[in-house]
Amino acid sequence: MTLAQFGQYPAARFAIAHISDTHLLADGARQFGAIDTEPHLRRALELLGDLEQPPQAIIVSGDVADRGEVNAYRVAKQLVETAAGRLGARVFWTIGNHDDRRAYSSVLFGEESEAPQDRVHELDGLRIISLDTTLPGHHHGELEPGQRAWLKEVLSAPARHGTLLVMHHPPLAMALDRVSHVIELDGQAALADVLRGSDVRAILSGHLHYPIYSTFAGIPVFTASATCSTMVLAGPERSYGVHDSGQAIAMLHLFDAGAGGMPEAPVTHTVLPLAQAPLVIAHRFAEFAALEQMTHAQRRELLSRHRDRDATDDDGRVHAWLDDAAAAPGAGGTQA
């Protein structure tokens, strides 16, 4: 079914799931002895099966395995690739500081290697670069001069739909979290010199276990939450506390230039929380199909015009709204 355009923007050309910091452990072990990370990843993948525009790719931005264990990579590969197979999506991995190059490369790529895990992929004209920012044996990140030269060479010719740069350590300042500056990416100014003026449309990162956004050399930087656990940023436990809540993934959308009537090509990064809280309102989704058949003016009338602000019966109001939608001229009734 082709979806109607409800506003100024058409559907994105690329819908890409961004998952980070799964921190899986072998044999059912728990992160910090308490957090069961595998069900959190399962829940994240489950969410991807229920999106209006399914993802064309799943990007995992590092710290796949908490202790770099071979069996943890096997579980990650099986879970993520099975979900991707169902969605018809590709999978792109990037390494993090908790990962082990040898185990990561042998299980995920079938080539055992201690070398930096830099890779270039292509997804229907979009270039995706996995950049290895790790320094084995440490939690902070750095790039070897050879990696910057390699990146410069890769970026020397633009890709048809531009480039996504995936790097575990985010190139930005953690304003609420000075402790994480100790484990940041070194040499950021030298990296900015490589990226400035290139076709990189977005940088996807992880590492921090909370979402934070910035720009770097004029490029948007999107740091995903972790699926394993979340850092505490306020209160007495800030910067050294971790809680088993607040986990999320994100959907990255890349639109073509001209979308919304502007020359720029918009990029968005939308957070999808893993939390399963009780629903306060549950619309009958099929009834929204009526919206597809309406004119823009009819949709505006139904959804934009203020309606009965004094109503206290929210549920009744919503259902009256849905009945109106079904009965609206040109609605064509509801569809299953």
Binding interface with Fe ion (CB under 5 A): 21, 63, 96-97, 207
Complex with Fe ion: residue 23 or 299, whichever CB lies closer = 23
Closest distance to Fe ion from the beta carbon of 201 (Å)? 23
Bridge partners of residue 221, in order along the sequence: 203, 214
What's the length of the chain?
336
Closest distance to Fe ion from the beta carbon of 96 (Å)? 4
Complex with Fe ion: residue 154 or 231, whichever CB lies closer = 231
Torsion angle of C-alpha atoms 88, 97, 44, 236, degrees rounded to 10: -160
> Do residues 14 and 248 lie in contact, with contact meaning Cβ atoms separated by under 8 Å?
no
Closest distance to Fe ion from the beta carbon of 248 (Å)? 14
Return the structure tokens found at 72.
């943890």
Complex with Fe ion: residue 152 or 178, whichever CB lies closer = 178
Closest distance to Fe ion from the beta carbon of 247 (Å)? 12
DSSP codes, 274-306: ---PPPS----GGGGHHHHHS-HHHHHHHHTS-
- Residue nearest Fe ion by beta-carbon distance: 63
Closest distance to Fe ion from the beta carbon of 304 (Å)? 42
Complex with Fe ion: residue 95 or 290, whichever CB lies closer = 95
Complex with Fe ion: residue 90 or 101, whichever CB lies closer = 101
* Nearest to 199, CA basis, from 121, 118, 265: 265
Strands (E), 49-176: 57-60, 90-93, 119-123, 126-131, 163-167
